[in-house]
Amino acid sequence: MRATVTIEPSLFTEADRRAKELGLSRSRFYQTALEHYLRDLRDRRLTDQMNRHLERYDERGDRDLESYVAEVWARDMGDDEW
């Protein structure tokens, strides 16, 4: 799919230079960068979810961590693969 975006000139110049260094087309470079950025956002979201659960565990303090993580995983992650 084609998309038109506006990019600051200095960012465009640097991205163009890096794409050439890596032997990638400009399109492939931007696509790869977007994939990495979206993966990072997903990873941060997962980390935030895990941290919230661990904070709840700390507040309860009535079970061992391994049991708590197993319960949370079964309840919230289901069959999701890492």
Confidence check: pLDDT of 55 > 90: no
Q: Residues 55, 61, 64, 70: what is their CA dihedral angle, to the nearest 10 degrees? A: -40
Q: What is the pLDDT of residue 56?
A: 74
Q: Which residue has the higher pLDDT, 39 or 73?
A: 39
If you average pLDDT over residues 27-55, what whole number do you get?
87
Output phi, psi for 6, to 5 deg: -105, 130
Confidence check: pLDDT of 77 > 60: yes
Q: What is the pLDDT of residue 71?
A: 78
Confidence check: pLDDT of 62 > 70: no
Q: What is the pLDDT of residue 20?
A: 97
